[in-house]
Amino acid sequence: FLDRAAIEDPSVIKANKWNLATLTDVEEVKLVLIMLPIWATTIIFWTVYAQMSIFSVSQATTMDRHIGKFQIPPASLTVFFVGAILLTVPVYDRLIVPIARKVIKNPQGLTPLQRIAIGLVLSIIAMVGAALTEIKRLIAVTRNGLTNNPTAQIPLSVFWLVPQFLFVGAGEAFTYIGQLDFFLRECPKGLKTMSTGLFLSTLSLGFFFSSLLVTIVDKVTRNKHPWLLDNLN
């Protein structure tokens, strides 16, 4: 279908770029269309990232954040994102890449798509862990009779939230690098300058989709058993 754009139309008196495309332009459009499914898939990871950045920190405000007499600020838990990235990058470079070179015979280790896939799997594990932690938190709320007390501190350590932060952080290390590498490699030469923009657009759309998801869930469940309330307990 796209090849027809490069076929000259006899009825056109004067050809221009709007009615006659070059074969190079047609092939570049094909490459962009092939990239779109990967581009769309990676939006999901950043949706998970946004959910973790918001709801996990909100959960932390209701949990026991004390280490001795010191109380951890809820927002500081995001340091585990950074810690996981700093740990994952050298582990990938020094351990995973040499093993991958031997197993899959790829001099670069894992391909960009394989790295993205690992990041998505880690985000799934993080969400499962987050769900299990929330179940445990709500059980603690019920046992201690704190359901109607939104400001109460639950006798449950905030460090139960750490694994989900670590998994998302590790997933970010794989997905971020994999995405950037993929778009830089696969983007047509004429669109190389847009490769970073394509990558960053998935991040921004992930946050927008996160807001949309929250709105949809709130509207669907509001009249029955609301999932999202001002009172997390």
93-123: pLDDT as tens digits = 888 888 888 888 877 788 888 999 999 999 9
Both tokens of residue 91? 């582990």
Closest CA to 124 of 186, 167, 81, 94: 167
**Residue of higher predicted confidence among 190 and 126:** 126
Residue 179: the pLDDT is 87
Which candidate, 5, 15, 47, places its Cα nearest to that of 204?
47
Is pTM beyond 0.85? Reply is no
214-223 exposure pattern, b = at least 16 Cβ within 10 A, e = fewer: beeeeeeeee
Q: What percent of the chain lies above the pLDDT cut of 90?
A: 21
Would you place residue 53 in the very low, low, confident or very high pLDDT band (cuts 50, 70, 90)? confident
| Tokens, residue 185 | 């490699």
Its CATH class, for the domain covering 2-64+72-221, is: mainly alpha
Q: Where are the domains of the chain?
A: 2-64+72-221
For residue 156, the surrounding DSSP H or E stretch is strand 154-157
Report CA 29 to chain centroid distance, whole Å.
26
